[in-house]
Amino acid sequence: MSVAQGMRCATVRLSNGLSIPILGLGTSSYGGYSHDAIVYALTECGVRHIDTAQQYDCEEKLNKSIRESGLPRSDLWLTNKLWPMDYGYQAAKKACLHSCALMGVEYFDLYLMHWPGSMKLGSSNREVRAETWRALEELYKEGVCRAIGVSNFKIHHLEQLEEDCNMVPHVNQVEYHPFQQPTHMIEYCHEKGIVFEGYCPLARGQVLSNPTVHQIAEKYGRTPAQICIRWSIQNGVVTIPKSVKKNRIKENCQVFGFQLEEADMAALGRLHDGRHVGWDPRDVE
């Protein structure tokens, strides 16, 4: 099986029956944007899952990259995220449609609330989350979003959303790598039928120098990055590494031709030390 075939076959089923590719490509504002790298990922590496956000300021650039790839829209899984500045019912609906226009698409496969906190004065975070989520529920019913979810939400945020609204999120996307393994969150998501998705699988490069990761990489004849990404997807986590370098993207995609043994999975699981390399939402009410 080729890398491209392996990527296309590996998916995770959402509660509504859709299948999200288990490996994607992130386009965070951290490290910039590369048009050539995105086109290369789509045309040469078999990438079909692109993750972006309103906050990353690259929606128009992605529009151009996706068009240049020549791939039909139906072959792609596109995730976008709503920034808290546009939380609230009307603002959220308007922002989603504007993001669709910028990216040149009629719908998103997955649309997420980016952060549990609000930038709306005079209202509690909980009230604004509920109001915003109701907008996403409508966008889902209208077909503008094929699935909806949240990002960086803790368990209490999810519990409140379930109490206040009609739909449970299809996805919760949070920081996930060997140093940051939110076990209770993963268990909660599994119980509720929420797919757990992880960003920063390489901890922004911090895991690449870890002795345990290096030892396991040598054992399999793989790179430290490939070991960490393989560990993540082997745990059933939808994983979205980000790179703007073609050789790194190719390397990150070559994770389907081998399997980590249980002892090695366990050794990587013991690396958790609770550190965050991204935002930490623990203090958001």
Catalytic residue numbers, as ranges: 56
β-strands 11-13, 19-21 pairing: antiparallel
Nearest to 36 by CA among 74, 71, 69: 69
Phi, psi of 237 (to 5 degrees): -90, 130
User: Rounded distance, CA 136 to CA 153, Å?
Assistant: 16
Residue 129 neighbours by CB distance under 10 Å: 26
DSSP code of residue 198: E
Among 44, 115, 62, smallest CA distance to 86 is for 115
Burial of 165 (0-12, 13-18, 19+ CB in 10 A): middle
The three-class DSSP label of residue 154 is coil
Q: Tell me the pairing of strands 11-13 and 49-51.
A: unpaired
Q: Is 114 assigned a ligand-binding role in the annotation?
A: yes
* Structure-block tokens of residue 114: 């980016």
Provide φ and ψ at 154, rounded to 5°: -90, 175
Tokens of 142: 């209208």
**Binding site residues for substrate, as ranges?**
114
